């Protein structure tokens, strides 16, 4: 329960007051509080620019906050049930990298599920940590990875008692959570930190019908996307810490490495205002969203050939809990892939889904979702039935992950060469290759490229998916093993 006055928005109030003060702006940014009349300024209006100051006197400094930013972060910590909060300008990706860099030094071990976002892999590269991967539960019907197997966690800790931390996704992109309280209990009993990726769970602390938040479960650190589920501007997120296992000064030092020295006051103001709104109105607003979502699921499940997953469906497939503000719809029984459904809904019905997978599409709802939005969604899904095909969607679901050859950091810094995809079998990847969204790598630096990866790349490319990598289409960056001996073990 919050102890501070959550109606307060100290940073937002201060930056708004500054913008209205008619100060002569002889500092950066160049637009001088909106004095430049370009097309963008004319479209969005002067208020956006009046809030876009850099670090004028009285507006504090994110690298070492002592004034209104410090006060705003304290209010955020209180609202989210943490001891300390840090505003992030580079998204939850920044927070995830900072958590791993804070918890682990080079060659120290971290226990981590393989279905993590690419930012966690980047955190391994930056920190030099050694990943000990766990295989998540696989939902074979939907073809998605879910949460952590508690028994596998126990076995992994027994095999690697020297690991420094356990990394948990709370929830997965699709809204599925693990038994986080049990994870925390087990990890802490073995003197390991618990770090949580809450990119899609920043709203959990504000309604008891939702899964438990990382802070409420006793985790040591979590990074959450305020922009994804709480209402701030895109790219604005938050890092939270709780308890005495993490030194706040080390967190701040790490963030100062990763963060711009010119942080966006717009982003910080939007975090401040959205935090206040959800702290004051979140319970009631989320109750309404959950009620609308349950009704929408029932309506979707009356449409022949479609299946909207319920919380019970998730639990039956070994998920521990489910965020009901997300709607997964299995469409493959219509004989179309989720990728096809995604495009049809966008092109024909003006409905933008969050993502598609082989068998499903995903809708992410929030306190900004309206009943009209959901009515149009249901009507679009009814229209989708007209695109039914008499074929069976049979993309193979992967139950294994690639073998590891070396740490991600070593592979990233190793000598490299470029090979054609068709010639990449058994090479060691030197880059993340992923479908975006969701941004979970098919292969990461240091893993051995197997036949399944090549088949997945061929399938996703044929579906028109966005494949993110560091190289041009048709090529993969791999470790040049002929030169590897010069560098192995030195990084």
User: Is residue 142 very low, low, confident or very high in pLDDT (cuts 50, 70, 90)?
Assistant: confident
10-278 CATH, one of 3.40.640.10, 3.50.50.60, 1.20.120.1200, 3.40.50.620:
3.40.640.10
C-alpha–C-alpha distance, residues 387 and 186, integer Å: 49
Taking only the tens place, the pLDDT of each residue in 322-352 is 999 999 999 999 999 999 999 999 999 999 9
Taking only the tens place, the pLDDT of each residue in 364-413 is 999 999 999 999 999 999 999 999 999 988 765 665 678 888 899 999 98
In DSSP terms, which residues pair with 112 in a beta bridge? 133
Q: Is the pLDDT of residue 317 over 90?
A: no
pTM of the predicted protein model: 0.93
Q: What's the chain's average pLDDT?
A: 92
How is the chain split into domains, by residue range? 10-278, 283-387, 408-486
Q: Is the pLDDT of residue 71 over 70?
A: yes
Taking only the tens place, the pLDDT of each residue in 423-468 is 989 999 998 887 776 667 888 899 999 998 888 888 777 777 777 7
Average pLDDT, integer, range 55-64:
86
pLDDT score for 459: 78
pLDDT score for 437: 66
408-486 CATH, one of 3.40.50.720, 3.30.70.1150, 3.90.100.10, 3.40.50.300:
3.90.100.10
CATH (residue range 283-387): 3.90.1150.150
pLDDT score for 43: 94
In DSSP terms, which residues pair with 224 in a beta bridge? 198, 238
The region of weakest confidence among 90-104, 116-130, 245-259, 457-471 is 457-471
pLDDT score for 347: 97
Q: Is the pLDDT of residue 188 over 70?
A: yes
pLDDT score for 191: 98
pLDDT score for 398: 62
User: Is residue 7 very low, low, confident or very high in pLDDT (cuts 50, 70, 90)?
Assistant: very high
pLDDT score for 488: 56
Q: Is the pLDDT of residue 213 over 60?
A: yes
**Token code pair at residue 395:** 């993309």
Average pLDDT, integer, range 62-82:
97
Could you give the C-alpha distances from 90 to 94, 258, 425, 453, 484, in angstroms and in order? 6, 8, 35, 30, 33
Q: With the C-alpha atoms ordered 9, 12, 18, 21, is the resulting torsion angle positive or negative?
A: negative
Average pLDDT, integer, range 86-112:
97
Burial class (CB in 10 A: 0-12, 13-18, 19+), 325: buried
User: Is residue 235 very low, low, confident or very high in pLDDT (cuts 50, 70, 90)?
Assistant: very high
**Token code pair at residue 459:** 């399938």
Do residues 357 and 328 make contact, with C-beta atoms less than 8 angstroms apart? no
Q: Determine what percent of the chain falls in helix, strand and coil, rounding each to the nearest 5.
A: 40, 15, 45
Share of the chain above pLDDT 70, in %: 96
Could you give the C-alpha distances from 487 to 106, 276, 318, 414, 470, in angstroms and in order? 15, 51, 43, 6, 21
Q: Is the pLDDT of residue 85 over 70?
A: yes
Q: Is the pLDDT of residue 469 over 80?
A: no
C-alpha–C-alpha distance, residues 189 and 166, integer Å: 12
pLDDT score for 244: 96
The region of weakest confidence among 135-149, 241-255, 326-340 is 135-149
Comparing 283-387 with 408-486, is the CATH topology the same? no
Do residues 214 and 182 make contact, with C-beta atoms less than 8 angstroms apart? no
Instruction: Give kind and range of the element (H or E) at residue 461.
Output: helix 451-462
Average pLDDT, integer, range 68-87:
98
Tell which residue, 491, 489, 487, has the closest CA to residue 415.
487
pLDDT score for 57: 78
Q: Is the pLDDT of residue 485 over 70?
A: no
């Amino acid at each position: 329960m919050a102890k501070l006055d959550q109606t307060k928005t100290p940073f937002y109030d201060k930056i708004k007051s500054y913008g209205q003060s008619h100060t002569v702006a002889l500092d950066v940014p160049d637009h001088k509080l909106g004095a430049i009349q370009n097309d963008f300024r004319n479209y969005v209006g002067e208020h956006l620019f009046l809030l876009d100051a850099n670090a004028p006197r009285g507006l504090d400094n994110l690298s070492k906050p002592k004034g209104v930013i410090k006060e705003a972060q304290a209010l955020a910590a209180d609202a989210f049930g943490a001891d300390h909060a840090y505003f992030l300008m580079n998204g939850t990706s920044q927070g995830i990298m900072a958590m791993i860099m804070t918890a682990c030094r080079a060659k120290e071990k971290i226990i981590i599920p393989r279905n993590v976002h690419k930012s966690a892999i980047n955190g391994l590269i930056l920190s030099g940590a050694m990943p000990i991967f766990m295989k998540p539960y696989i939902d074979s019907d939907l073809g998605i990875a879910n949460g952590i197997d508690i028994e596998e966690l126990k076995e992994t800790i027994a095999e690697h008692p020297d690991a420094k931390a356990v990394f948990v996704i709370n929830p997965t992109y699709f809204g599925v959570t693990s038994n986080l309280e049990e994870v925390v209990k087990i990890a802490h009993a073995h003197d390991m930190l618990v770090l949580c990726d809450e990119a899609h769970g920043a709203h959990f602390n504000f309604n008891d019908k939702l899964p438990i938040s990382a802070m409420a479960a006793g985790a040591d650190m979590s990074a959450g996307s305020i922009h994804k589920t709480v209402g701030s501007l895109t790219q604005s997120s938050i890092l939270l810490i709780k308890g005495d296992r993490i030194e706040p000064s080390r967190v701040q030092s790490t963030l100062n490495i990763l963060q711009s020295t010119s942080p966006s006051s717009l982003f910080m103001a939007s975090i401040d205002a959205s935090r206040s709104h959800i702290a004051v109105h979140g319970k009631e607003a989320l109750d309404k969203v959950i009620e609308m979502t349950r009704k929408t699921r029932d309506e979707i499940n009356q449409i022949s050939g479609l299946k909207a997953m319920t919380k019970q469906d998730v639990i039956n497939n070994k998920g521990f809990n489910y965020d009901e503000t997300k709607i997964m719809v299995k469409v493959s029984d219509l004989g179309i892939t989720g990728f096809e459904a995604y495009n049809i809904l966008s092109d024909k019905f003006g409905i933008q889904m969050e993502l598609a997978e082989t068998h499903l599409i995903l809708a992410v709802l929030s306190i900004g979702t309206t009943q009209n939005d959901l009515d149009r969604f249901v009507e679009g899904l009814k229209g989708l039935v007209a695109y039914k095909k008499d074929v069976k969607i049979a993309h193979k679901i992967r139950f294994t992950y690639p073998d590891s050859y070396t740490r991600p950091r070593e592979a990233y810094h190793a000598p490299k060469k470029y090979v054609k995809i068709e010639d990449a079998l058994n090479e060691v990847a030197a880059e993340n290759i992923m479908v975006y969204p969701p941004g979970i790598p098919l292969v990461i630096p240091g893993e051995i490229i197997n036949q399944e990866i090549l088949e997945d790349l061929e399938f996703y490319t044929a579906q028109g998916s966005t494949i993110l990598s560091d190289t041009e289409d048709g090529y993969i960056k791999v470790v040049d093993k002929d030169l590897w001996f010069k560098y192995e073990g030195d990084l």
